[in-house]
């Protein structure tokens, strides 16, 4: 929170229900600043008032916004987790749960897998691929989403289990384009292509897997079986 914004915060507070009523202005301002960074939002996300570069006209005491009421519940949840669970682990200096632990700078703390699953269900493969590219362009390196091989691998596993071969292939083709695949990734790529009927591509995938892991008897067996199939 900037010095200008802090100056617009009232000196006395009303309607404090979770934070200590005797909290100082400086401490409250720092606390709110931490919330804002943790969720990637501005003060008006929770507090009623006009959007803008300053806090002029913001009614800090108002409970009008659902986001503020939700924030109170979340703060109570975090306090309970640290007190009733983390605090009872018997460790001298246990790691405390904070807002940023889950939110990572996101207002809606979804994993990349969850976001892409929603896109697949709403708009199909093209929408999910476009969403991935958009998020990667905007947030790569920020820590908000996991853009390693793992996210698309996990998504692919769930798609394969659901019998959604077309979607699984699309996600793994995207993964192969964006990251360097491990043995796990090449295995998923091969199984996705095979399930989708792309036998020649599956053979190539198993060959690449054997290049990465020459001792994989499973990959060799799978490749041998595919090569014995009649065209």
What is the residue extent of each domain of the chain?
3-103, 112-228
Q: What is the pLDDT of residue 91?
A: 84
Q: Which of 127, 105, 120, 102 is nearest to 38 (CA)?
A: 105
Q: Max Cα separation, the chain?
A: 81
What is the CATH number that goes with domain 112-228?
Answer: 1.25.40.10
Q: Are 189 and 172 in contact (CB under 8 A)?
A: yes
Per-residue pLDDT of the chain (231 residues; tens, 9 = 90+): 554 555 567 788 889 999 999 999 999 989 999 999 999 999 999 999 998 888 888 999 999 999 999 999 999 999 999 999 998 898 888 899 999 999 999 999 999 999 999 999 999 999 999 999 999 999 999 999 999 999 999 999 999 999 999 999 999 999 999 999 999 999 999 999 999 999 999 999 999 999 999 999 999 999 999 998 866
Question: Given its phi and psi angles, is residue 178 left (phi above 0), alpha (psi -120 to 50 degrees) or beta?
Answer: alpha
Q: What is the pLDDT of residue 5?
A: 54
Identify the three-state secondary structure at position 48: strand
Phi, psi of 48 (to 5 degrees): -70, 135
């Amino acid at each position: 929170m900037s010095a200008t914004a802090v100056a617009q915060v009232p000196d006395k507070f009303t309607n404090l229900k979770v934070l200590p009523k005797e909290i100082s202005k400086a401490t409250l301002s720092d606390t709110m600043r931490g919330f804002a960074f943790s969720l990637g939002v501005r003060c008006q996300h929770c507090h009623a008032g006009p959007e803008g570069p300053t806090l002029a006209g913001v009614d800090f005491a108002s409970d009008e916004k659902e986001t503020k009421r939700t924030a109170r519940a979340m703060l109570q949840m975090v306090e309970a987790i640290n007190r009733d669970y983390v605090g009872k682990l018997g460790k001298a200096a246990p790691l405390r749960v904070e807002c940023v632990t889950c939110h990572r700078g996101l207002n809606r703390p979804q994993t990349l897998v969850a976001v892409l699953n929603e896109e697949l269900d709403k708009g199909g493969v093209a929408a999910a691929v476009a969403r991935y590219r958009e998020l990667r362009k905007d947030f790569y390196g920020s820590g908000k989403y996991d853009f390693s091989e793992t996210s698309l691998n996990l998504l692919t596993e769930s798609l394969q289990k659901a019998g959604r071969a077309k979607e699984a292939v699309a996600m793994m083709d995207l993964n192969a384009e964006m990251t360097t695949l491990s043995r796990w990734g090449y295995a998923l790529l091969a199984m996705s292509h095979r399930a989708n009927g792309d036998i020649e591509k599956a053979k190539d995938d198993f060959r690449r897997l054997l290049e990465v892991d020459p001792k994989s008897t499973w990959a060799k067996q799978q490749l041998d079986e595919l090569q014995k199939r009649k065209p």
